[in-house]
Amino acid sequence: MDLFGHLDIEVPRGTGLDPIVADQFRNEAASFHRSGLNLLQRGHVGQAAEMLERALGFREHDFQLWRDAIDMLVRAGRLERAEARSQEALQNYRQTAPLFASHALVFARQERYGDALGHVQVVFDHAHRDAHWYAHAIRGEILLRQDKSNRSDAIECFDSAMDAMPNPWRAALIAAWAFLDAELPVFAAAAAAEVTHWNPRACVGWLLLAQCFEQLRLYEQAEFYYHCVLELEPNHPGATRGLQAVKAGNFGLMSLFRRANLNGRWRTAYERAIHQTGR
Q: What is the pLDDT of residues 67-105, one digit of tens each?
A: 999 999 999 999 999 999 999 998 888 889 999 999 999
In terms of C-beta distances under 8 Å and separation of at least 24 residues, what long-range contacts does 84-92 make, across chains too?
85/53, 85/56, 92/60
Size of the chain in residues: 279
Between the alpha carbon of residue 38 and those of residues 24, 41, 100, 149, 229, the distances in Å are 21, 5, 25, 34, 15
CA distance 114 to 146: 10
Q: Which of 62-66, 73-77, 249-253 has the lowest mean pLDDT?
A: 249-253
Q: Map residue 218 onto helix, strand or coil.
A: coil
Q: What is the distance between the terminal CA atoms of the chain, rounded to a whole angstrom?
A: 41
Q: What is the pLDDT of residues 184-224, one digit of tens each?
A: 999 999 999 999 999 999 999 999 999 999 999 999 999 99
